[in-house]
A = this chain, B = another copy of it.
Amino acid sequence: MKLIVGSPGTWSGLSLRVTQCVFAMASIAAMASSFGFTNYSAFFYMILALMVQLIWSLALAGVDIFSIRNKKDIHTLAHVTVIVLGDWITAVLVFTGASASASVTILFTKDTHICRVYSRLACGQFALSVVLAFIVWLLGAASCFSGFWLLVSFL
C-alpha cells in the first residue's frame, strides 16, 4: 500500500476526514441556529451540500478505520476511482454552495446594508458559516488531490 499523505486507509487520511466532519458540523450549526436562513435558497442549498459532504466524510472515515484496524489494503484502482469521484462531486457541491452563500452575505452586509437596518438578521452567523464551509471545501480538495495523486500512480 502506497503511503501518500491524506490518501484513503491511512492515519492522515482518517484525520482529514474527521476534520472535514467537524468543520461541516460547525458550519451547519452556525447556519441552522441563525434566524430565517430557510428564506434564502443559497443558504439552504449550502446546508444541503454540507450535509452530503458530512455523510460522505463520515462513511469514508469508517472505511479508513476499517482499513487501519484490519490492516487491509484498499488501494485498488476501482476503490480509489470511486473515492476520488465522490470527493470531487462533494467538493464541487460545497464550493458552489459556499460561493453562492458568500455572495448573498456580501449583498446583505456590503451592497444593501440590510444587516444594519434589520438587526434580527444574523449576518455574523451567516458569515461564520460561509467561512467554515470554505474550510470544509479546502479540506475536501486536499482529500481529492491526494486520492488523485494515488490514481495517477496507477498509470
Contact = CB atoms under 8 A, between A and B. Distances in A.
Contact of A103 (B100, B111, B152): B100
A118 interface: no
A76 B41 CA distance: 46
A100 to B, nearest CB: 3
A45 to B, nearest CB: 8
A111 B107 CA distance: 14
A96 to B, nearest CB: 5
* Copies of this chain, whole number: 2
Contacts of A106: 41-42
A22 to B, nearest CB: 25
A90 interface: no
A148 B86 CA distance: 20
Interface in A106-127: 106-107, 110-111
Contacts of A96: 95, 99
Given A95-B96, A99-B99, 14 more contacts: A39-B111, A40-B111, A41-B103, A41-B106, A41-B111, A42-B106, A42-B107, A95-B95, A99-B100, A99-B103, A103-B103, A104-B104, A107-B107, A155-B155
Interface of A: 39-42, 45, 95-96, 99-104, 106-107, 110-111, 152, 155
